[in-house]
Amino acid sequence: MKGKLEPTERQKLIDEGKNLKEGLLSLEEDLLKLIDELQQEAQRIPNMTHPDVPIGGEDFSTIRKMVGSPREFSFPVKDHLQLGKELDLFDFDAASEVSGSKFYYLKNEAVLLEMALINWTLVEVMKRGFTPLTTPEIVRSSIVEKCGFQPRGANTQVYSIEDSDQCLIGTAEIPVGGIHMDSILAASLLPLKYVAVSHCFRTEAGAAGTASRGLYRVHQFSKLEMFILCRPEESDFYHEELIRIEEDLFSSLGLHYKTLDMASGDLGAPAYRKFDIEAWMPGLARYGEISSASNCTDYQSRRLGIRFRSTEPALTNPKKGKSNLAPPQFVHTLNATACAVPRMIVCILENNQQEDGSVIIPEPLRPFMGGLESIYPKPR
């Protein structure tokens, strides 16, 4: 039997134990802080890039396809701001008083045009096997980060809600990406194809100049976003499918556009490869981006914890008591703009303007606007 400790020796050991416990708690706090800092730094590392991606800044992007040619006008061309004023379609002044700059009211036929663009696009994309969604427009900051966006910082595009861990979405890609977070999908379910309708909110930090006037760059807008989850070996195929859908939609509306293979310096953190479409906007006298299609490979799914398990047996013999199923793999995620409404309105107004001041509605949209064929100036 061990002898009893002297009271002073016993107290000394008790004090040492308390000090060790307090020191351990302090070390655990330091460890959690370091893990968080490491995670923040790791999230700044971008995705790999496809071997065919042009290297360099935006100017090094290459043209994949050119559709149509700029319309030739026999009269002075107006931009969408002037057209909107004469046709009584927008009110930026009142919105500026109510909400601030880069907000707007749509009025009269512009409201019908927005609804028509949304409903026509939704119908067309659903024909390709996409499931329609409306999404939450407020999400947790952690979801934004896991999708590859930075919700904090001087030049963030994300509106954060004060005293909370929530943000307004800048794209439906974020809430759609979170639907299957921390799950293992059956391989038989893939690909999962969604088309989501949402409002989007962006700070547009650093954006200024004539290129940002009017509806081209705003803080709030409606958008339809396509999103696909698939097997890794199929993501290149579905990337091509997404860009074909975009091109079909814009061709149906009679737009002149070019498809670009974006250079490495313009990909953003999540994208392995990105195709942008820029349409001719005669009132602005330049091409403007109207959509993009990105293959994010497993960049988002690793952060979101989205995996799939094949029903095919593993190639190696399992250990006793272990399943013979193949281990789960991370899915690949892809996203593409089906319709960014304000920029589509810019394209339609500027390209379809007539000498008498009217604007012709593209034929595919007319059934969704009660048969309306043209928008005419209002009598004063």
311 annotated as ligand-binding: no
DSSP line for 45-85: SPPP--TTSPPSSGGG-EEEEEES-PPP-SS----HHHHHH
Strand partners, 183: 306
225 annotated as ligand-binding: yes
Among this protein's residues, is 217 annotated catalytic?
Answer: yes
Q: What are the strands, taking DSSP E only, across the chain?
A: 62-67, 90-91, 105-106, 131-134, 138-140, 166-168, 183-186, 192-201, 220-230, 257-261, 273-281, 286-295, 306-309, 329-330, 332-340, 359-360, 374-375
Tell me which of 202, 273, 303, 307 is the catalytic residue: 202
* Residues belonging to the chain: 380
219 annotated as ligand-binding: yes
337 annotated as ligand-binding: no
Strands 286-295 and 332-340: antiparallel
161 annotated as ligand-binding: no
Tell me which of 273, 303, 307, 343 is the catalytic residue: 343
145 annotated as ligand-binding: no
289 annotated as ligand-binding: yes
Tell me which of 289, 309, 310, 358 is the catalytic residue: 289
361 annotated as ligand-binding: no
202 annotated as ligand-binding: yes
CB 357 within 8 A of CB 338: no
Write out the two tokens for 242.
Answer: 């997404």
Give the count of alpha carbons within 13 A of 55, CB side only.
2
Tell me which of 292, 301, 307, 350 is the catalytic residue: 292
Write out the two tokens for 26.
Answer: 């302090």
Dist. CA 257–CA 67, nearest whole Å: 5
Among this protein's residues, is 152 annotated catalytic?
Answer: no
Which spans in 187-335 are helix H?
235-252, 299-304
259 annotated as ligand-binding: no
Tell me which of 217, 273, 303, 307 is the catalytic residue: 217
291 annotated as ligand-binding: yes
323 annotated as ligand-binding: no
Write out the two tokens for 42.
Answer: 């790791």
Among this protein's residues, is 202 annotated catalytic?
Answer: yes
Dist. CA 262–CA 58, nearest whole Å: 7
Write out the two tokens for 222.
Answer: 């409606």
Dist. CA 243–CA 217, nearest whole Å: 23
Which residues touch 18 (CB under 8 Å, ≥6 apart)?
none
Q: Which residues are catalytic?
A: 202, 217, 289, 292, 343
- Annotated binding-site residues read 171, 202-204, 218-221, 225, 289-292, 335
- Annotated binding-site residues for L-serine read 171, 202, 225, 335
- Annotated binding-site residues for ATP read 202-204, 218-221, 289-292
